[in-house]
């Protein structure tokens, strides 16, 4: 009997409704995940599980009666011990030849991919991701490792011979060396990819890591620890402490044993870390702080493609992406038609249990997000027009989860809060403009600069958009997503202005080098 054909690589753009083998594999993964619901988990410090006097429950946003996991609540002392374990492990890990480090990490990627179906189902239970989003994220976590390893290898471990001044006895070279111990503080919305990517970049460079995942997404981080342990990463090279930001997170920011930090989250918290983390001398501070991402639609655009791309980017994973398309600037002559098309697509979105294959949009993360959504809808009704949506979905099983309608609003002043504040809910605001120049000015009038998109049939307008927009990730005429959908090695992902701190992007060839510092060697023989 011939072997079954391998399943295709699953990204955010490849899952098809008619792929029966893939959906059958995911259904099996859901059953394996169900068998793990409610299990207890401990932190990992120096290769050993660490329990705690207190525990916290992670309940599913799909149905709050579902206990996804019970996790030991980490303390400041646990964080200190994890930092000490990472420091103790770092010299031997740094001394490990870089090719050997890459081989170990590629083994981690393989284990993540092998467990993709089960891990994706657990991510769905934990944060409410749809089938497409959950499967894509797990594979992205694995692909981030593979891509960064490839980049590291292509750069020969970042050891480069340099010129000399004519003396044959002199050899000079540039080498990049690890800093030591990195803290990684990861968010709930990409709980695997945005934990694994930074951790992998740090570890392959010879650093060791202490991860603090978002509390509501702690299980995803613990699953990564499971794959890392099973791949044979030495004890202490990767540590995880789950717990509140005010204790575990604060210790990672304040402890002098941390040599560098990676944070993904809100602008307010990120800027606080950026201002305070370095005290005695500068330390690497890699911060990604979200966005208020615009799409621009000109009169020459394919309006159906624009409406489709806006819908996908505004409402994918409930708008809970730092790259979500939360504001739209459209030329006045096509405003009404774009809104009509966008509303029609929003009203066809299937909202429900994200574990079901027909569901496109699951719940948002928690009650606080629901309140933020309802407050925004109230403001839109008061100050403008709600074209569609604006309500919490209730009745039956919906009452036990956090489900809301995809929402399109407009007729608001361009200075309105809903065009300025990152909401992280399925909510986008549309504003009519008289020219591309006006749209660009409004799009750039923000502290953020993460992603942006344009729809136009005029090549000159494309060139102007690419030249003048102030954002790090740009999309032109993209039906699959106006402002979302990056993939390792395909679209570098990093923000300008208040969206990022380094000017270098994740998912890109420059990323691993951020975890090292340059040293010049001049050797006279």
- Helix spans in 49-163 (H): 76-95, 98-114, 116-127, 131-154
> Contact, 153 vs 147, CB < 8 A?
no
The tokens describing 270, both together, are 């990120």
Beta-strand relationship, 208-212 and 39-41: unpaired
Enumerate the active-site residues. Answer: 288, 322
From first to last of the 525 residues of the chain, give the pLDDT tens digit.
344 445 566 776 665 656 788 899 999 999 999 999 999 999 999 999 999 999 999 999 999 999 999 999 999 999 999 999 999 999 999 999 999 999 999 999 999 999 999 999 999 999 999 999 999 999 999 999 999 999 999 999 999 999 999 899 999 999 999 999 999 999 999 999 999 999 999 999 999 999 999 999 999 999 999 999 999 999 999 999 999 999 999 999 999 999 999 999 999 999 999 999 999 999 999 999 999 999 999 999 999 999 999 999 999 999 999 999 999 999 999 999 999 999 999 999 999 999 999 999 999 999 999 999 999 999 999 999 999 999 999 999 899 999 999 999 999 999 999 999 999 999 999 999 999 999 999 999 999 999 999 999 999 999 999 999 999 999 999 999 999 999 999 999 999 999 999 999 999 999 999 999 999 999 999
Look at phi and psi of residue 396 and say left if phi exceeds 0, alpha if psi is from -120 to 50, else beta.
left
For the chain, the domains span: 27-289+504-524, 293-487
Evaluate whether the domain defined by 293-487 bears CATH number 3.40.120.10.
no
Query: SS3 sequence, 199-263?
Result: HHHHHHCCCEEEEECCHHHHHHHHHHHHHHHHCCCCCCCEEECCCCHHHHHHHHHHCCCCCEEEE
State which CATH number among 2.60.40.10, 3.40.605.10, 2.40.50.140, 3.90.1720.10 fits the domain covering 27-289+504-524: 3.40.605.10
pTM of the model: 0.95
Distance CA 415, CA 432 (A): 13
**Which H or E element spans position 28?**
helix 20-36
- Please report, in angstroms and rounded to a whole number, the separation of the first and last CA atoms in the chain: 64
What does each C-alpha distance from 475 to 55, 169, 286 come to in angstroms? 44, 52, 24
Burial (CB count within 10 angstroms: exposed 0-12, middle 13-18, buried 19+), residue 398: middle
| Beta-bridge mates of residue 328 | 295, 430
Q: How many CA atoms lie within 13 A of 261 on its CB side?
A: 32
What does each C-alpha distance from 52 to 34, 49, 59, 223, 242 come to in angstroms? 25, 10, 19, 19, 11
């Amino acid at each position: 009997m011939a072997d079954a054909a391998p399943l295709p690589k699953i990204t955010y753009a490849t899952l098809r409704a008619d792929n029966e083998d893939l959906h059958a594999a995911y259904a099996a993964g859901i059953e394996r995940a169900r068998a793990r619901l409610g299990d207890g988990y401990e932190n990992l410090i120096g290769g050993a599980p660490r329990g705690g006097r207190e525990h916290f429950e992670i309940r599913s946003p799909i149905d709050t009666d579902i206990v996804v996991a019970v996790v030991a609540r980490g303390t400041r002392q646990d964080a200190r011990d994890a930092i000490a374990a990472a420091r103790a492990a770092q010299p031997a890990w740094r001394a490990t030849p870089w090719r050997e480090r890459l081989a170990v990490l590629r083994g981690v990627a393989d284990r993540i991919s092998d467990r993709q179906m089960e891990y994706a189902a657990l991510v769905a239970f934990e944060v409410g991701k749809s089938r497409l989003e959950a499967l894509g994220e797990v594979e992205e976590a694995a692909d981030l490792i593979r891509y960064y390893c490839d980049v590291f290898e292509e750069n020969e471990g970042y050891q480069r011979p340099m010129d000399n001044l004519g003396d044959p006895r002199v050899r000079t070279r540039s080498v990049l060396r690890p800093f030591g111990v990195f803290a990684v503080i990861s968010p709930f919305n990409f709980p695997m990819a945005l934990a694994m990517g930074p951790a992998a970049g740090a570890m392959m460079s010879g650093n060791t890591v202490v991860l603090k995942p978002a509390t509501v997404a702690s299980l995803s981080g613990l699953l990564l620890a499971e794959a890392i342990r099973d791949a044979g990463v030495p004890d202490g090279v990767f540590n995880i402490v789950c717990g509140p930001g005010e204790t575990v997170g604060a210790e990672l920011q304040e402890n002098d044993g941390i040599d560098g930090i990676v944070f993904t989250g809100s602008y307010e918290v990120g800027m606080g870390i950026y201002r305070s983390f370095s005290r005695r001398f500068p330390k690497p501070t890699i911060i990604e702080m979200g966005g208020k991402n615009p799409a621009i639609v000109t009169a020459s655009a394919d309006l159906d493609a624009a409406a489709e791309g806006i819908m996908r980017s505004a409402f994918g994973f409930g708008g809970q992406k730092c790259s979500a398309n939360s504001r739209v600037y459209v030329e006045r002559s096509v405003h009404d038609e774009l809104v009509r098309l966008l509303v029609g697509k929003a009203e066809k979105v299937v909202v429900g249990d994200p574990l079901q294959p027909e569901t496109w949009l699951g719940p948002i993360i928690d009650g606080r997000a629901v309140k933020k959504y309802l407050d925004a809808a109230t403001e839109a009704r008061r100050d403008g027009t709600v074209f569609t949506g604006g309500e919490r979905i209730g009745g039956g099983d919906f009452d036990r989860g956090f489900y809301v309608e995809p929402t399109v609003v407009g007729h608001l002043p361009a200075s309105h809060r809903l065009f300025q504040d990152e909401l992280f809910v399925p909510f986008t605001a549309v504003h009519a403009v008289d020219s591309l120049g006006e749209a660009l000015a409004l799009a750039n009038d923000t502290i953020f600069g993460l992603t942006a998109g344009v729809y136009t049939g005029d090549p000159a307008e494309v060139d102007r958009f690419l030249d003048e927009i102030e954002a790090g990730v740009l999309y032109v005429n993209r039906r699959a997503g106006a402002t979302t959908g990056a993939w390792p090695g395909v679209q570098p992902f990093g923000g300008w202005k208040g969206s990022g701190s380094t000017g270098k992007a994740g998912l890109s060839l420059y990323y691993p080098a951020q975890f090292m510092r340059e040293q010049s060697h001049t050797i006279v023989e």
